[in-house]
Amino acid sequence: MATIKDVAREAGVSTATVSRVINKSPKAGKASTIAVQTAMKKLGYRPNINARALVSKSSNTIGVLVSDIADPFFSAMIKAADQVARDNNKHLLIGSGYHNAESERDAIELLINSCREHLIVHSKALSSEELIAFAKEVPGFVLINRFIPEIANRCIAFDNFKGAYIATEFLIKNGHKHIAYINSNHNIDDASERKAGYLKALEDHQLSYPPDYIVEQESNDEGGKMGMIELLSKSIPITAVLTYNDFMAAGVLTALEENNIAVPEKISLVGFDNGLISRYVHPKLTTINYPIEIMAKQATQLSFKLAKQEEQLAKHNIFSPTLVKRASVSRHQDKK
């Protein structure tokens, strides 16, 4: 027996769109309606009471998709969005995608069923085409930390390339020529853009290294520790390290401490994100500020404007990184 997911797959739409067609919602587009009705007829699908109940008359919720709710970065994003939501008498409904396309897709479809007007999405695994399709279904759809030209007015993004470039150049200007980079092993834009920024800064300052200076690990403290141990095992000259995020930097500090390598006296260190942990490790961490709280608030406010069909942003909004100088970097002097 065919299910609502079978119909969605056959029609090339989401289950939320199928639900709208079943319930004769005015938000179901003509093309989607024809595709769904054709799929239902082909598969012999008959809607049941549960399918009809997926769309209700009103909703006071805002859907928020993050990669991992346990990650402090996303906790900060959720808290900021919740502040704006409460000011507008709304409540958050949260889903996690874990950098997995199927998980992100399922979570978004579930959120759409309950949050038909407002949806803030942090998606790294889904294709641009799928996200554009979802944006057409949800009036207040906003994409955070990603830029898609076709829906530029719905994007709140961050310049990851520039952030890594600034961090690397800061180390270079402090005399460092042997700079390693510990990147995330997730196949996402953030990782590739930050790596590109690191490499471009080296290139612009006529510095180049073999691949041994770049390692990839899980983007947490354990990954940072393992990445630093991997670099140390190669016996290559390193005077500074840049990490994908602050948690990886915390792991690097642990690995260096266990090997009696002082920071910043022997190796300087720069993180990324300016998370809470950066202020409490020792030494306090020089890092790149990622204004996720401001971005999340703006994304939530934009969602309300879009849903009300108020004036939209004329251009996409890409936030710029800034360097936060603390105690984990010192000037390197070449031995003569």
Strand, coil or helix: 61 = strand
Q: Where are the chain's structural domains?
A: 1-55, 160-290
What pLDDT does 99 receive? 87
Its CATH class, for the domain covering 160-290, is alpha beta
Rounded to whole angstroms, the Cα distance separating 331 from 334 reads 10
As a whole number, the mean pLDDT across the chain is: 91
| Residues 168-194, mean pLDDT to the nearest whole number | 97
pLDDT digits (tens, 9 = 90+) for 92-125: 999 999 989 999 999 998 898 888 799 999 999 9
Strands 317-319 and 322-324: unpaired
Strand, coil or helix: 132 = helix
- What is the topology classification, in CATH, of domain 1-55? 434 Repressor (Amino-terminal Domain) (1.10.260)
**In the chain, beta strands by DSSP E:** 61-66, 91-96, 118-121, 140-144, 155-158, 179-184, 214-217, 240-243, 268-270, 287-289, 317-319, 322-324
End-to-end CA distance of the chain: 78
| Residues 84-98, mean pLDDT to the nearest whole number | 95
What pLDDT does 30 receive? 81
pLDDT digits (tens, 9 = 90+) for 306-325: 998 876 654 558 999 999 99
Its pTM stands at 0.83
Give 29's pLDDT tier (boundaries 50, 70, 90). Answer: confident
Give 49's pLDDT tier (boundaries 50, 70, 90). Answer: very low
Q: Which of 127, 91, 122, 128 is nearest to 107 (CA)?
A: 122
**1-55 and 160-290 agree in CATH topology:** no
What pLDDT does 313 receive? 54
